[in-house]
């Protein structure tokens, strides 16, 4: 399966969108650790329909015109990681959950650390809203894009909701 990519500018810096013909595979940060999400060989194709649809929906999100994404997603990870990433998709716009909340939601309350690790490996940032997961005391912790970008995303949603 061939993966294609394009870069877009956003209020949180440059983002690298990665897809194949039928789904979005990743939204990566400009300061991305290449070991966080491993991808097969990529071909730059900025006119690919899936990438253009993603770009449009992200533009609407950043403009405060979209609260929910409507994109087919192809998460590549373990069964546990996929459970966590599916739980992320259920967090409403403008709300947050703790790692413990996510662990409870997937039926494994003691897996808080594992939830944190899976959250950190989320390949589809922003769209699978890992930025909405915070520490149990309400602190902003752990975010692949950087805590400053996590704060920008949460502020954007709080101002729009």
Confirm if 69 and 57 have CB atoms less than 8 A apart: yes
Torsion of CA 24, 26, 30, 34, to 10 degrees: -150
The one catalytic residue in 18, 84, 115, 130 is 130
Question: In Å, what is the CA distance from 27 to each residue of 20, 30, 52, 128, 158?
Answer: 13, 10, 13, 9, 22
Six token digits for residue 122 = 């989320």
Residue 96 has what pLDDT? 94
Residue 18 has what pLDDT? 96
Active site residue 79: no
Residue with the two structure tokens 């947050």: 96
Residue with the two structure tokens 């015109």: 65
Whether the full predicted model's pTM is greater than 0.85, yes or no, is: yes
- Give the tens place of pLDDT for each residue, 30-71: 877 777 777 888 899 999 999 999 999 999 999 999 999 999
Residue 127 has what pLDDT? 97
With a pLDDT cut of 90, the percent of the chain lying above it is: 76
Residue 1 has what pLDDT? 75
With a pLDDT cut of 70, the percent of the chain lying above it is: 97
Task: Give the chain's residues under pLDDT 70.
Answer: 160-161
């Amino acid at each position: 399966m061939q993966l294609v990519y394009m870069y877009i500018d956003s209020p949180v810096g440059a983002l690298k969108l990665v897809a194949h013909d039928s789904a979005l595979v990743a939204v990566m940060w400009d300061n991305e650790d290449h070991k966080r999400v491993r991808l097969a060989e990529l071909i730059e194709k900025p006119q690919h329909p899936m990438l253009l649809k993603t770009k449009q929906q992200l533009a609407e999100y950043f403009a405060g015109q979209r609260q929910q994404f409507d994109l087919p997603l192809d998460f590549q990870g373990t069964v546990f990681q996929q459970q966590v990433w599916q739980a992320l998709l259920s967090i409403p716009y403008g709300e947050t959950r703790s790692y413990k909340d996510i662990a409870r939601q997937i039926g494994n309350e003691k897996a808080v650390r594992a939830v944190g690790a899976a959250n950190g490996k989320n390949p589809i940032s922003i769209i699978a809203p890992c930025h909405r997961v915070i520490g149990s005391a309400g602190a902003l912790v752990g975010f692949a894009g950087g805590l400053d970008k996590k704060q920008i995303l949460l502020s954007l949603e709080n101002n729009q909701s």
